[in-house]
Homo-oligomer: A and B are copies of this chain.
Amino acid sequence: MYDIERVRADFPILATEVYPGVPLVYLDSAASSQKPAVVIEAMADYYRRYHANVHRGVHRLSEMATTAYEGARVRVAEFIHAAAPEEIIFVGNATEGFNLVAQSWGRANVGPGDEILLTEMEHHANLVPWQMLAAERGATLRYLPFNDDGTLALERLGDFLTERTKLFSFTAVSNVFGTINPVRELVDAAHAAGALAMVDAAQSVPHMPVDVRALDCDFLAFSSHKMCGPTGIGVLYGKRQLLEAMPPFLGGGDMIRRVTFDGFIPNELPWKFEAGTPRIAEAIGLGAAVAYLSALGMDAIHAHEQAITAYALESLSELPGLRLLGPPGTQHGGLAAFTLEGAHPHDIAEILDKDGIAIRAGHHCAMPLHHKLGVNASARASFYVHTTTDEIDKLVAGLHRVRELFRLERD
């Protein structure tokens, strides 16, 4: 059984008070998750006992640090079932993963008239790098539309994937709608059209089992800070033969095999794409996070979140004037975005905050999606391993108070 109280005890921040006497109700995990003590301690322990620069050192600390750093890579590779650790590139965040592919693979493979297919529900991280690439290379971006219920218009995929499509990059789970997209189906469609497929897994890897080989995707990116790991590190997965053929992204130490005044020879994978002193403590923290999540079990986590989300969607839908964004039912990731007639999302978030309830208000880095919906902003509550139904009840009670304060009860 999923022992929620034990899980909650793992997170030091859940024992804190936001204001005197007001405990934290953290419903903003989709923006960034909290960290269990084991992750915080893994990094502190590294700095206290065995910090040193990696790869180039003969001495003991350097060897320990290198072992831990490369060990974290192995853990991450196993976590997402990559064929080999060399397919795991440590980057700064998911965003950098998209930029790496856009600038390295993209510049080498995308030219005038070529198309890159995205969807209308993408996060800016999976939009702007391609807009920069398309502007530079004279390529065209196309966007697979979403339906009113926040699912993708899958039946129109055939119109959008053409022989000009070089890459289809899409999110596994929408960070606004919560839609869980049929990743394998989309990857297959891309491949059938002769295109590569890249997956934005920022909202899937933290919340459900992900197997890159089962998905057959070519690239996949996610962020450590949304999955119990530290800030400052993300992961780009890529199929080995693709990564091998790609030119370097950033230049400097570690990513080279040899340098002369006349030029350089890049290093082997994965270091070819990791320039300069790497994110050592961050990789160790991410490794600890992966171990923590694996111990809970990704299936158990997913089941817990599905239950919480169903409860939340149900409870929220009873509030007058509340409009839920995204698909109803179980095909819904662990979040609920909504608008409330008569109260602006920022005001909602601020009022809830006084009760210690942390939710997000705004466009959640998905401006084009909100623009299409005709709203400037939405409110979003998002859930994780430690979320309880009690917290959902507090959220709903808080929203009732918002309606009172804004004199909406009379409506």
Contact = CB atoms under 8 A, between A and B. Distances in A.
A311 interface: no
Interface in A340-362: 346, 349-350, 352-353, 357-362
B358 A143 contact: no
Contacts of A59: 18, 28, 349, 352-353, 357-360
A396 interface: no
Given A31-B53, A232-B281, A365-B56, A253 B48 contact: no
A408 interface: no
B28 A259 contact: no
Given A95-B252, A95-B275, A56 B362 contact: yes
Contacts of A57: 28, 31, 349, 358, 360
Interface size class of A (residues with CB under 8 A): 35 or more
A141 B367 contact: no
A31 B280 CA distance: 13
A57 to B, nearest CB: 6
A258 B40 contact: no
Interface stretch (A125-133, A146-154, A210-218, A324-332): A125-133
A256 interface: yes
Contact of A250 (B44, B99, B252, B253): B99
B371 A276 contact: no
A56 B40 contact: no
Interface stretch (A70-78, A81-89, A184-192, A223-231): A223-231
A277 interface: yes
| Count of identical protomers in the assembly | 2
Contacts of A132: 248, 251
Contacts of A256: 124, 128
Contacts of A23: none
Given A93-B277, A96-B276, A123 B230 contact: no
Interface in A210-264: 223, 225, 230-234, 248, 250-256, 258-261, 263-264
A282 interface: yes
22 contacts: A18-B61, A28-B61, A52-B358, A56-B365, A57-B360, A58-B349, A59-B349, A59-B358, A92-B92, A94-B276, A95-B251, A95-B275, A99-B275, A123-B253, A127-B264, A128-B251, A128-B259, A230-B281, A231-B277, A231-B282, A252-B365, A259-B367
Interface of A: 12-13, 16, 18-19, 24, 26, 28, 31-32, 34-35, 37, 39-41, 43-44, 47-53, 56-62, 92-96, 98-99, 102, 120, 123-125, 127-129, 131-132, 135, 141, 143, 223, 225, 230-234, 248, 250-256, 258-261, 263-264, 275-282, 346, 349-350, 352-353, 357-362, 364-365, 367-368, 371
